[in-house]
Chains A and B, each alone.
Chain A
Amino acid sequence: MEIQISGLKKYYHSEGKVVKALDGVNITIPANKIFTLLGPSGCGKTTLLRCIVGLETPDEGEIRIGDSLVFSSGKNLYVPTEKRGLGMVFQTYAIWPHMNVFNNVAYPLQNRKMDKAEIRERVAKTLKFVQLEGYERRPATNLSGGQQQRVALARALVNEPKVILFDEPLSNLDAKLREETRKELRTFLSELEITAVYVTHDRVEALALSDSIGVMNAGNIIEIGTPRKIYFDADHRFVADFIGRANLVPAAVLEQGESETVVRSALGNMLCHKRDFSEGEELTLCIRPEFIELQPPNNKGAVNTVKGVIETLVFVGEMYETEIRVGEQVLMAKIAPDTDLTEGSEVSFFVRPEHCLLVAV
């Protein structure tokens, strides 16, 4: 089911200050896809999620889930959480410690006064789906973090909702388990016909998991796009900077070419991925460290070739993290771990035009 949100506002008042958690959010979340709300902490992403499920009441705006309106400030309409029939996985999992796995998962069905035999059957089916077959009688406190996470997922799925919400569900797992669970989650969700809304501040998680990402900041949705679009071709400087490490170099448009935009910057004149800017306009050139490539000694002809000096060189195992000084500008870059360069070495590198991203200042 599609989720349509329009003009959503939610302000908090604390100690005389007004915090704009949601500042007029308009968004349509596509049906049966994994949609991620990504942003720094305090950007309002969790508030938006809680408004969708009904745990928060917005000050203004409308929320429509599928064909039904669940909140409208204009019509004074608020459908309470328990009547919205959504599924949700909480950051803390919120597994009830006094119940066993069966009752935790069966709870949504029990609230619908479903027949007992049917409940048993559906709980067993769902537990099988999340690979916790036979765990029914296990006390909820007697589970590992990953298992609790899957119980929470099973509980959210057992009622076969059309929409499932995730509030940073992986943030309590350790790094290795987080990666495994992320892959699993992707597999689980792609097998179902369900709209998933996923909140996270972890950009890797967002990129790896989503069909579509909405980047939020200060109560607003800044940009929406596929992971590749957001990573390679962001329209906003905030998004380009937030989604990955980026060298931000001030630049100005020199001329608009056929397929490229040429800019002047501290790195010299650079051919960039074409963007609609007028000549002379000040903007920011954004280059990700992994796209800075060292020039092989015998190859001199590449476009966007720049000369610099290695200022720092830190070995982190899979590569060297380095800073290259070009005049006043210092650029982060990554160098293969088997290099024989040292600090102070002169290097010459290039960046392909499609990886030179131009964003407004």
Chain B
Amino acid sequence: MARRHTKLTWLLIFLVGFLTVSPVFMLVVGSFSRGLNAFGDFTLEKYIAVYTDPAFGSIIGNTLVFVVGSAALSTVIALFLSYLNNRTDIPFKFLFRVLSVVPMMIPHVLFAVSWALLLNPSNGILNLWLQKAFALETAPLNIYSIFGMILVEGLLDLPIAYLIIAPAMASFDVSLEESSRVFRGGPIKTLFRITLPVLRPAIMAAFILCIIRALASFAVPSVLGMPGRIYVMSTYIYQTVSTGFVADYGKAAAIGMSILVTSIVLIYIYRYLTSSSERFVTVSSRGFKPAIIELKKAKLPLFVILVLLSVVLIVLPVLVLLYTSLVPYSMVPSVRAFGMMGLQHWKAVLKDPISLLSIKNSLFLGVFGASLGTLLSVFIAYIIVKVRTRASGFLESLSFLSFSFPGIVIGVGFMWFFVRTPLYATIWALLFGYIATYLPYGIRPMTSAFIQIHSHLEESSTVCGASLLTTMRRIIVPLIIPGIVSGWVLMATMFFRELSLSIVLSRPGTEVLAVQILRFSEDGLWGRLSALGIIMIMFSTSMVVAVNLLGAKFRKMQVVESLK
């Protein structure tokens, strides 16, 4: 049995290594090459061109402000929300669950677009309304600014930060605080001297993960930054490969190298922090009820803030898109506007062959890609959790590597790779790239599912005379169904809305939804964009619901079978 696992481990190491190391390798070599057709022809000119360009300084500056600003915003709001949820008597706590999960179903590019629709300086709905209400000459707010970018990216990364901080807050041993109070520490002093320092690893981990996400973010900088000529690293790469006369993939690789190196360094700091946070945060096994702080007078205003945040994160984007898809052109909601509503944009989208193709392609990538990715993740997670050898530790580190991959950078790496294979410009290139980049998201829920299965459950099946296959079929798979479902859903929604990798790899014939949305946005076709966006949200939501139902049914089936 042990020998078979060794073989499987090395097979997976080879596979994952191929998926994650090859784009990095190609990126490195590509950045020193003269061009796509002169691969390996050594030159330093791309690096010199990029890093001596005087404009590069301002791009670095923009990137820093954007990344740190949005990460700080997400972390602070997440901290505030986790505290409210775990430590106060705020009502309707299910809102926190909604807030942490539902925004993941709204594609980033659509979220950014909805803010552009509201607050763009020429005809943003909110701007027009404010202008009218206060009789202003110009639009008071401009989303096409670094502050706009920070605000939107910060809101987008909020769920990530919340999902890291909230569990730490929930498992916080309140007796640490209580003993501080006993020793004459006031509530404010206790918060700053005890509570926040004990939670520091979790807070830092959330902050760093948000930085990585913002660094890799392409949707917000392209939709909100580029119209105002505010470039960050990811949009600079995009500009290098998609505008101008000749796409310069060598230069793009040279830019990408610095993002990739930064990300990889950050992800290992993150990993170190999360492993030490488990040591740091004292989870009390005796089931202490955390001391709930009564909000009293502050309850209502805080609750209003919470509801407002939910509206801004979930309801508003969908409403704005729905509204825009129905009105002929941008206008403030009014009786006249509602009178002019029609389905013209919807009809245009449903007749547009490229939009239809992009729906088809994204559905294929979402459903088939996530299934393939989940299958791979099940085996990897099994080896990581159940086989504790040096090789399985190596596999874990290797599969964790792509967690740091900024999509657009790795896209450039894949470009150098695919252009030498028949996969170039096929849907398989995208599939390959998606799985390589998003593998850790599939593995994570699966490893936690495997960790929960005590090895005795498996062993007792063997003692009862079951073969390995029977044990898999009757014990392991049914027990990890919840992990499989959440891994699949996570991968499918990510694949379905994928933008930053696709923007590099997508070619005529392999358009995907998010890329098509961005095209509409660049052309200012807001109505069609909104209609396609609503279709996109509908598909991804029904996909999530369907799989959850299927998972529940499968589990019920197990019970029914057992009753026969």
Contacts and interface: CB of A to CB of B under 8 A. Distances in A.
B136 interface: no
Contact of B459 (A80, A90, A155): A90
B457, B463, B470, B559 pick with most chain A CB within 10 angstroms: B463
Interface in B451-490: 454, 456-457, 459-467, 470, 474-475, 478-479
Given A80-B1, A90-B456, A91-B456, A99 B558 contact: yes
B457 A96 contact: yes
B456 A94 contact: yes
Given A55-B459, A99-B558, A92 B454 contact: yes
Contacts of B555: 98
Contacts of A102: 562-563
B488 to A, nearest CB: 19
A150 to B, nearest CB: 15
B389 to A, nearest CB: 11
A75 interface: no
A138 to B, nearest CB: 11
Contact of A94 (B2, B459, B470): B459
Interface string B441-454: 00000000000001
Contact of B464 (A98, A137, A155): A155
User: B interface, how many residues as a size bin?
Assistant: 20 to 34
A100 B563 contact: yes
Contact of B454 (A85, A88, A94, A108): A94
Interface string A98-110: 1110110001100
A108 B462 CA distance: 9
Contacts, number: 74
Contact of B465 (A85, A93, A99): A85
A139 interface: yes
A199 to B, nearest CB: 14
Interface of B is mostly: helix
Interface residues of A, number: 34
Nearest to B2: A57
Contact of A137 (B454, B456, B563): B563
A159 interface: yes
Contacts of B465: 82-83, 85, 108, 111-112, 159
Scoring B454, B456, B470, B562 by chain A CB atoms within 10 A of each residue's CB, the highest score goes to B562
A159 B2 CA distance: 27
Interface string B550-564: 000001001100110
Contacts of B457: 94, 96
Contacts of B475: 96
A244 interface: no
B463 A53 contact: yes
Interface string B1-13: 1100000000000
23 contacts: A81-B463, A82-B463, A82-B464, A83-B465, A86-B463, A90-B456, A90-B460, A94-B456, A94-B460, A96-B461, A96-B475, A96-B479, A97-B479, A98-B478, A99-B562, A100-B562, A100-B563, A102-B563, A107-B474, A111-B466, A111-B470, A156-B463, A159-B465
Given A100-B559, A108-B465, 14 more contacts: A82-B463, A82-B465, A82-B466, A88-B463, A94-B456, A96-B475, A98-B478, A98-B479, A103-B562, A107-B461, A107-B474, A111-B464, A152-B460, A155-B464
